[in-house]
Amino acid sequence: MLVIKNLTAGYGAISALHGISLSVPSGSIVTLIGSNGAGKTTTLKAVSGLLKPKSGEIIYEGKNIAGLAPHEIVARGLAHVPEGRMIFANLTVRENLQMGAYLVRDKQVIRRELDFVFKTFPRLKEREQQMAGTLSGGEQQMLAISRALMSQPKLLMLDEPSLGLAPLLVNTIFEKIVEINRERGLTILLVEQNANRALEISHFGHVLETGKITLQGDPAILRLNPQVKSAYLGGG
């Protein structure tokens, strides 16, 4: 579904990505792990159009989308849940969800998607009329994911969904990611510092270090790799 070829991107004169290549097969969960500053968020920003690549290709469903505007990319079925959630704090939960569906014209489809996200995250249904800024961190993360789902994506990109959450909520978020992938057949590109949990739920993994892919493969094998264990899994 998504193929990144020799992608170089950065900020001003500073390059954060140095010709990375990776693929995300349809229906899979692919994880991208790496330390702070490795280029994980930059990769997602380049794919979603928030950052214009310096060179390389981003092939989504057979077409190069590198350099397209973010709204054009969303319209093609690609949604990005940014690091830090970025919810609309002064809007209610329901209004945030409706913002996610701003490109959807069919009211029946919007109702169906609302039903799905409320079934997936019952807590949001309970807080439907509550101002989003008053939600807990975990609830805000649920809302950020649900808002992206309202756009009916075929590919969902998640940037650090477990960041700053209590362990119990981390488990819930990862369980829901698996559930959404399984029930909707939704393709997911996951960027996560909780490397152990991310590799547990993924079908394929990539390790990004200082703007380059250094390892990739079966997540179970990556978890046994001494380099990965030492750097990301807290083991020797």
pLDDT for position 236: 41
206 lies in some domain: no
* Band of residue 234 on the pLDDT scale cut at 50, 70, 90: low
Cβ–Cβ < 8 Å for 34, 40: yes
Cβ–Cβ < 8 Å for 211, 7: no
Give the closest residue to 191 by CA, choosing from 19, 18, 24, 6. Answer: 24
**SS3 assignment, position 21:** strand
136 lies in some domain: yes
120-156 pLDDT per residue, tens: 999 999 999 999 999 988 899 999 999 999 988 999 9
187 lies in some domain: no
126 lies in some domain: yes
Domain that holds residue 93: 84-153
Number of domains in the chain: 1
236 lies in some domain: no
Q: Which residues pair with 55 in a beta bridge?
A: 8
10 lies in some domain: no
Q: Does pTM surpass 0.85?
A: yes
100 lies in some domain: yes
- Taking each helix axis from N to C end, the angle separating 107-120 and 167-184, rounded to the nearest 10 degrees, works out to 140
58-91 pLDDT per residue, tens: 999 999 999 899 989 998 999 999 887 788 999 9
Cβ–Cβ < 8 Å for 1, 61: yes
23 lies in some domain: no
How wide is the angle at C-alpha 165 spanned by C-alphas 93 and 24, nearest 5°?
85
Question: Read out DSSP for 11-22?
Answer: ETTEEEEEEEEE
